[in-house]
Amino acid sequence: MFIYAGKVAIRCYFYIRYNKKMLSPQQIESKLNRILLRVQKPGRYVGGELNSVVKNWDDVKTKVAFVFPDIYDIGVSNVGLKVLYDQINQREDALAERAYSPWFDMEALMRQHEIPLYALESKRPLACFDLIGFSLPYETLYTNTLNVLDLSGIPIHSADRDDSHPIIIAGGHAATNPEPMYKFIDAFVIGEGEEVIHEIVNVIQRVKGQRSKVNGDLRPETCDRNEILHELAKIDGVYVPKFYVTNYLEDGTVAYTEPTIPEARKLVNKRIVAKLPPPPTKFLVPNIDVVHNRVSVEIMRGCTRGCRFCQAGMITRPVRERSVEEVVEAADAAIRSSGFEELALLSLSSSDYTYVKDLVDAISKKFEGRKLTVSLPSLRIESVSIDLMEKLKQRRSGGFTLAPEAASEKMRRIINKYIPDEDIINTTREIYARGWTTVKLYFMIGHPSETLEDVQAIADLCKRVIAEGRKVAGWKVKLNAGVSTFVPKPQTPFQWVSSDTRESVLEKQALLKRELYKDRSIKLSLTEPEDAILEAWLSRGDRRMADVVYTAWKNGSRFDAWKEGRKYDTWMQAFAEHGLDHAFYTHRQRRTDEVFPWEHIGTALRKNFLFQDFRMSLEGQIRVDCRLNCFACGILPTFANLRRENPGKGWMCPDVKSPATKVKSETVNSNQLPVVGD
């Protein structure tokens, strides 16, 4: 093991010697000392947070750097990355460190002073690590990802990397369609990472270990990239794009994507964990103010509601819950170890957590008399939610957030989020009556088939909410209406629809401004139409988009989700340079028989299930919560073995019979088999 570690150290030495950009941790620290006082928030770049893990570099075989390619203030609170950081650092033979995207001021100084991007714990350049794992929860991080590679001195294109470079992997919701990034990422993790990250580290150790034995000398440690990638392609849930080829039809749509080696699967299905592993309890405590200074405990994963616009709800199925005891214990341990005074109980739909009332009681009892703010996001619009928030003693000045998403009967049916006006009015009236002065309502415009009347309904509902609030609580009541623009996402029932055009979105936004700016008690927040359009072409792009992403980055695009970084013209030029039309990706209704660029990536949802749901939306039909009626989305056949091994209530999907029982039943009478379907 120590010979192995020594070789890694030698590899870094060789980098330093032959690549002038590669500096030692001491050299990096000394350069940082000279520049940090010249940037906006030096605390973003120094590490040293309480609960960060600093292991002895030479004591472990495998070094992993996890990168959240957005600014530290956002990335440090990301729960997914925390989970993986925790998983790897629990191993004795590996370490995990972190890096984030430097803000513009820091990037300029790093380039000027030739400081490579480094991990916060050891201050070692990212290029010294064996594995770099990018978290890609949203597509607007793509150009930042390229920038991180460039700042690290690692070739941006996977094909240009050699055995001396780290293996670059990426995961997160954006990996649902990895194709626009296929040229830059060596391997994508599809689905949940808790188990598969260990399998990836094991492959790297095994291949490198074999190589060390064969060579038996002290040359710099290299990774035998091709062999590692072949081995990674064999792991369930790992997609190695270089082993696939895509062919196109004359109209520019995809004909098919197929593997080029036997090890690569035709369909790379997502990974899930059968049971949620214990949540992390050592939360990093940043030394500066960040977006979420809090402990977050995931109470449940997945969602059974079936909102048709919601990619997270579709791709994180099945629903798996943690027990109340586990959540309370983890929250207590995390609060003790961090000193945070805020606790977030996370899920996509908190009201649907089976034991939500018990959990709220247990949390209230456990932390009684302690200075702690508890948030329970994504609550249903009903008075029970207010009772829950009251029990948690939510600070009323913070506002009460609800997400109706649409305001007309027609749109609620189309998006499958059916909440009658009266429920919204009654609930918000009650919220005001119980002392909250601010209600936050989230809506989306740009849904399929939406007209100006549907947008007018949003304005009318907001006015009604505030008028009813005034009746019970007077003129102090306020309403914050956040209206974002819908982006059709892969692996959802709306993957076939066109995005709303910029002109149409502007017209709808103008209507809302006209209607709502008059009332000073209503604060309207809108998103830039260009942001949604950019996200739309990145979400449903094919492999040809990779050149567009590269050119846009090369010409200055980064931090695409930030107004400081937004460069729409740069993207337009990049499309033109590569002879592509952005409207092909954004404003085009997909053919019903179209092969999607992400067709070889499986989230276990049957395409037919999604298509049927899309057809139902066109007819205004809603689907009930699938806890009440399983719609055979595809989860159970894909994960039948996992479900069988975990019977009972941990999962919200129906139990599956053991193969032996099933064969017996079929022999007797196939009509008696349990029916799962519409």
| Strand partners for 295 | 343
**Residues near 234 by Cβ (< 8 Å), separated by ≥ 6?**
263
Helices 196-215/2-18 angle, 10° precision:
80
Nearer to ligand SF4, 102 or 493 (CB): 493
**CA–CA gap between residue 215 and residue 213 (Å, rounded):** 6
Task: Provide the minimum distance between the beta carbon of 175 and ligand SF4 in the complex, in angstroms, as a whole number.
Answer: 20
Nearer to ligand SF4, 215 or 608 (CB): 608
Q: Count of CB atoms within 10 A of residue 427's CB? A: 23
Task: Provide the minimum distance between the beta carbon of 619 and ligand SF4 in the complex, in angstroms, as a whole number.
Answer: 19
**CA–CA gap between residue 549 and residue 539 (Å, rounded):** 12
CA atoms lying within 13 Å on the CB side of residue 236: 11
**Residues near 447 by Cβ (< 8 Å), separated by ≥ 6?**
309, 406, 411, 414, 415, 454, 486
**CA–CA gap between residue 1 and residue 93 (Å, rounded):** 9
Nearer to ligand SF4, 535 or 613 (CB): 613
Task: Provide the minimum distance between the beta carbon of 192 and ligand SF4 in the complex, in angstroms, as a whole number.
Answer: 15
Contact, 391 vs 361, CB < 8 A? yes
Task: Provide the minimum distance between the beta carbon of 321 and ligand SF4 in the complex, in angstroms, as a whole number.
Answer: 13
Task: Provide the minimum distance between the beta carbon of 655 and ligand SF4 in the complex, in angstroms, as a whole number.
Answer: 11
Nearer to ligand SF4, 506 or 640 (CB): 640
Task: Provide the minimum distance between the beta carbon of 317 and ligand SF4 in the complex, in angstroms, as a whole number.
Answer: 4
**CA–CA gap between residue 240 and residue 154 (Å, rounded):** 18
- Give φ, ψ of 431 to 5 degrees: -60, -50
Task: Provide the minimum distance between the beta carbon of 307 and ligand SF4 in the complex, in angstroms, as a whole number.
Answer: 13
Nearer to ligand SF4, 254 or 315 (CB): 315
Q: Which helix (H) or strand (E) holds 177?
A: none
Nearer to ligand SF4, 598 or 609 (CB): 609
**CA–CA gap between residue 220 and residue 1 (Å, rounded):** 15
- The gap from C-alpha 537 to its chain's centroid, in whole angstroms, comes to 17
Omega before residue 647 within 30° of 0, cis = no
**CA–CA gap between residue 48 and residue 107 (Å, rounded):** 20
Sign of the dihedral defined by the CA atoms of residues 420, 424, 430, 434, in that order: positive
Nearer to ligand SF4, 279 or 318 (CB): 318
Contact, 115 vs 23, CB < 8 A? yes
**CA–CA gap between residue 235 and residue 390 (Å, rounded):** 47
Closest alpha carbon to 80 in 138, 153, 143, 6: 138
Nearer to ligand SF4, 267 or 576 (CB): 267
Q: Count of CB atoms within 10 A of residue 301's CB? A: 19
Binding site for ligand SF4 (CB under 6 A): 304, 317-318, 626, 630-631, 633, 635-636, 653
Task: Provide the minimum distance between the beta carbon of 636 and ligand SF4 in the complex, in angstroms, as a whole number.
Answer: 5
**CA–CA gap between residue 289 and residue 321 (Å, rounded):** 31
Contact, 571 vs 180, CB < 8 A? no
Task: Provide the minimum distance between the beta carbon of 348 and ligand SF4 in the complex, in angstroms, as a whole number.
Answer: 13
**CA–CA gap between residue 659 and residue 641 (Å, rounded):** 9
Nearer to ligand SF4, 13 or 631 (CB): 631
Contact, 99 vs 107, CB < 8 A? no
Task: Provide the minimum distance between the beta carbon of 601 and ligand SF4 in the complex, in angstroms, as a whole number.
Answer: 18
Cα 474 to Cα 425, 433, 437, 607: the distances in Å are 16, 10, 10, 51
Nearer to ligand SF4, 170 or 633 (CB): 633
Task: Provide the minimum distance between the beta carbon of 653 and ligand SF4 in the complex, in angstroms, as a whole number.
Answer: 3
Task: Provide the minimum distance between the beta carbon of 635 and ligand SF4 in the complex, in angstroms, as a whole number.
Answer: 4
Nearer to ligand SF4, 315 or 424 (CB): 315
Nearer to ligand SF4, 4 or 631 (CB): 631
Task: Provide the minimum distance between the beta carbon of 638 and ligand SF4 in the complex, in angstroms, as a whole number.
Answer: 9
Task: Provide the minimum distance between the beta carbon of 231 and ligand SF4 in the complex, in angstroms, as a whole number.
Answer: 32
Residue with tokens 């030698």: 10
Task: Provide the minimum distance between the beta carbon of 642 and ligand SF4 in the complex, in angstroms, as a whole number.
Answer: 12
Contact, 334 vs 286, CB < 8 A? no
Cα 360 to Cα 39, 188, 237: the distances in Å are 43, 37, 36
Task: Provide the minimum distance between the beta carbon of 629 and ligand SF4 in the complex, in angstroms, as a whole number.
Answer: 8
**CA–CA gap between residue 577 and residue 211 (Å, rounded):** 43
Nearer to ligand SF4, 15 or 614 (CB): 614
Q: Count of CB atoms within 10 A of residue 654's CB? A: 14
Nearer to ligand SF4, 584 or 631 (CB): 631
- Type of residue found at 582: H
Strands (E), 380-508: 400-405, 438-445, 478-485
Q: Within 316-355, where are the H helices?
A: 324-338
Nearer to ligand SF4, 241 or 302 (CB): 302
Nearer to ligand SF4, 526 or 630 (CB): 630
| Strand partners for 330 | none
For the chain, the C-alpha Rg in angstroms (whole number) is 26
